[in-house]
Amino acid sequence: MAGVTMLVYIVYIAMAVWTFYNLPPIPQQVVTKSGQLLFTAQDVIEGKVLAQKYGFLDYGSFLGFGGYFGIDYTAYTMKFYVDQDQGAQRLLLVRRRR
């Protein structure tokens, strides 16, 4: 039993080390095609700190990752934009008929 426990800890530590050295890249800055700055690496890091400090992922999720207590913000936002776009298309159809 002690051997299995030690194996579990060794695997856990190995996975933690692998994760630490294989973090996803954070771009220094993200700009639009026109050259307007959207956000910097510092903005991403500050956003992560805020999300962890206030436990945002305990109340919802992004891209399917997060807590079970709230909505999936990605799906909600996509639905919002689709509904908004459909409403705009309906409005255009009504205006064209006039």
Q: Using the predicted structure, report yes or no on whether residue 92 has a pLDDT greater than 60.
A: no
Q: Are 21 and 29 in contact (CB under 8 A)?
A: no
Between CA 58 and CA 56 the distance in angstroms is 5
| 74 assigned to some structural domain | yes
| 56 assigned to some structural domain | yes
Neighbours of 57 (CB within 10 A): 16
pLDDT digits (tens, 9 = 90+) for 5-16: 999 999 999 999
| 13 assigned to some structural domain | no
Q: Using the predicted structure, report yes or no on whether residue 68 has a pLDDT greater than 70.
A: no
| 62 assigned to some structural domain | yes
| 46 assigned to some structural domain | yes
Cα radius of gyration rounded to whole Å, the chain: 22
Residue owning tokens 């919002």:
80
pTM of the model as a whole = 0.50
Total number of domains in the chain: 1
Domain coverage including residue 88? 29-97
Extended beta strands in the chain, E state: 29-31, 37-40, 61-62, 65-66
Q: Averaged over 47-73, what is the pLDDT?
A: 73
Q: Averaged over 8-29, what is the pLDDT?
A: 91
Between CA 88 and CA 93 the distance in angstroms is 9
